[in-house]
Amino acid sequence: MLSASELKEQVKAIGADLVGIAGVDSPLLREHGEEPEKLLPGARSLISIGVALNKAAVCSGNLRLDRYDTICVYERLNHISLETIRILARQGAGAISVSPYLPIDMRGESKGMRGEINHKTVAAIAGLGGIGLNLLLITPEFGPFVRLGTIITDAALSADQPLSENPCDLCGLCQNACPAKAIREDGTLDYSTCASYLLRNGLPGIIAIARKMIGADEKVVKGIIYSPDFWDIWQSTVSGSFYSCSECISACPIGFDKSSD
């Protein structure tokens, strides 16, 4: 079996910018209610993978450029995850990749707000960064300009340690930049307010439009379906990228490897 360091080198060679490993026996994992064994019986390790966003695109103020960059990054994450699972399979290890975005369970109390595993929690435990004031992962190399994926495996890999110091210095710039005012003064995040704003071209937007169309006359319906807002939602749906805000990311001044920008 490959060592943890050898595996991480191979995963980076595939295209990952950051790779860390967390053990399923980590007390921090349990504190956050993560149960990887339910997803993969016999699970022993979690591999956290990070791919950097293009800071120029995210900070461009052009939502289309921002969304396209997100699409490209998620495509790379998908490729890296698939190839990593194949590497592990050749070593005789079982592994599964947890979706970094969709599909996601929309039932129960979470209503799509919680995935099969919390990628940020795993990444923090694996030493890739710390959880910032905006509740995003803040990495020393890229700040919050990173998307994450997680692989659960039954391979026993040496776990990395969490960072000794959180890169987030609580400067408050993300809080000031949040157009929805979802980052509260006490440091908590109002998830529903954030989601309503962030996903206004996703499912919340579709529901809002459906409500307007129910019982409306033909003129109103035509006005809705021929509006730029409706067409933007259509684009978001077919492209798979519906995030409509990245202000808390753009405002963060912490680190960025200029060579990957």
The span from the CA of 114 to the CA of 129, in Å, is 20
Amino acid, single-letter form, for residue 96: I
What residue ranges do the domains of the chain occupy? 4-161
Would you call 121 helix, strand, or coil by DSSP?
helix
Global pTM value: 0.91
DSSP 134-195: TSSEEBTTTBT-EEEEEEEESS--PPPPPPSS-S-----HHHHH-TT--B-TTS-B-HHHHH
Q: Does domain 4-161 have CATH number 3.40.109?
A: yes
Per-residue pLDDT of the chain (261 residues; tens, 9 = 90+): 899 999 999 999 999 999 999 999 999 998 888 999 999 999 999 999 999 999 999 999 999 999 999 999 999 999 999 999 999 999 999 999 999 988 888 776 666 667 899 999 999 999 999 999 999 999 999 999 999 999 999 999 999 999 999 999 999 999 999 999 999 988 889 988 998 899 888 888 899 999 999 999 999 999 999 999 999 999 998 888 889 999 999 999 998 754 444
